[in-house]
Structure 1
């Protein structure tokens, strides 16, 4: 399945994406706000194994983010912790190419995945967390329609200290289905 989103499209990941993920994983600046498991050095074989199993969990949907113009993989995104009972999921994203940070891609992809969650999967609530000291992420999520619900105190450990995370969410009943460009 391919989802279009402005200057990028979203496609399935596979083991051929190993080199990009390995390169991103070796750069602390890229991974500093990522989930804990991605913060530790991994071998190419570890990354390849992870990619070969990425679609095995029925509670997670993952896509590669690809530039339309060059077909270059620039990151990944998706929905984790999906609950059919609660009709909810948690959004995640990583833009691995630093020269594309601040270009609005994260907001665009966030909107596209959120619309997919509501319109295609039938979820009612999408959540996410962002480190409070990462204002670019909080702004991207706000621009995509997410609202801050609170602060999770000392919820992450980075750079030798505990850091707060901002909890954000959006409901299907407040979502504008014309928001994806």
Structure 2
């Protein structure tokens, strides 16, 4: 397990999937804001669930996020679109509703940075998020990510186009203790 100050990132367990499916995917608004395509229902147990792990997929590394003190599942995190040639990847995370607003997001981003830069030897990490996702913007910036641009009206979400903010962090800029 990878450990932060509050959370750990571990392999996904089978019993995590129904909880993440119910609280993250089946919440249509949340899932629509987090995904890049239109929401559609996915039956529990389907291999098409975003939370089912394909161990053969090398460019997508999913984690379950748990509280360090008691192991409670608090969400999902992922390093995705891993590009081994350019040594870059994207960060994504989703927290269960009861786990939001407790500083877990900032800690998850920090642990994903450690994984990307130290364990994987990547050069660049990137985050794309909706411009009104203030929690993710704060979590990214607290970990040293820099706003690199705005993709105007780039995301179709629940009947309207929204701006996306692009943030990046280079290995040479990253400070492991930047979570203050």
With the length of structure 1 as denominator, give the TM-score of the two structures.
0.89
Q: Is the 8 Å Cα contact of residues 111 and 145 (structure 1) preserved in structure 2?
A: no
Partner residue of 1:45? Answer: 45
Written as runs of structure 1 = structure 2, the 5 A alignment for 1:34-113 is 34-36=34-36, 39-46=39-46, 51-96=51-96, 98-113=97-112
Which structure carries more helix by proportion? 1
Q: CA deviation at 1:38?
A: 8.1
Aligned counterparts of 1:64 and 1:21: Cα–Cα separation in 2: 9
Q: Secondary structure at the match of 2:21?
A: helix
Written as runs of structure 1 = structure 2, the 5 A alignment for 1:163-178 is 163-178=162-177
Partner residue of 1:141? Answer: 140
Aligned counterparts of 1:67 and 1:99: Cα–Cα separation in 2: 12
Aligned counterparts of 1:21 and 1:61: Cα–Cα separation in 2: 16
Q: Secondary structure at the match of 2:46?
A: helix
Aligned counterparts of 1:34 and 1:123: Cα–Cα separation in 2: 24
Q: Is the 8 Å Cα contact of residues 21 and 47 (structure 1) preserved in structure 2?
A: no
**Structure 1 residues 36 and 123, CA, compared in 2 at 3 Å: closer, same or farther?**
same
RMSD value, Cα: 2.0
1:130 aligns with 2:129: yes
1:15 aligns with 2:10: no
Q: CA deviation at 1:61?
A: 1.1
Aligned counterparts of 1:37 and 1:75: Cα–Cα separation in 2: 21
1:144-171 Cα distance to aligned partner (Å, 9 max, x none): 2111000012221112011110000000
Q: Secondary structure at the match of 1:39?
A: coil
Q: Is the 8 Å Cα contact of residues 14 and 52 (structure 1) preserved in structure 2?
A: no
Q: CA deviation at 1:120?
A: 1.2
Partner residue of 2:27? Answer: 27
Aligned counterparts of 1:39 and 1:6: Cα–Cα separation in 2: 33
Q: Is the 8 Å Cα contact of residues 142 and 179 (structure 2) preserved in structure 1?
A: no
With the length of structure 2 as denominator, give the TM-score of the two structures.
0.90
Q: Is the 8 Å Cα contact of residues 112 and 180 (structure 1) preserved in structure 2?
A: no
**Structure 1 residues 129 and 52, CA, compared in 2 at 3 Å: closer, same or farther?**
closer
**Structure 1 residues 171 and 99, CA, compared in 2 at 3 Å: closer, same or farther?**
same
* Structure 1 unpaired stretches of 5+: none
Equivalences, count: 179
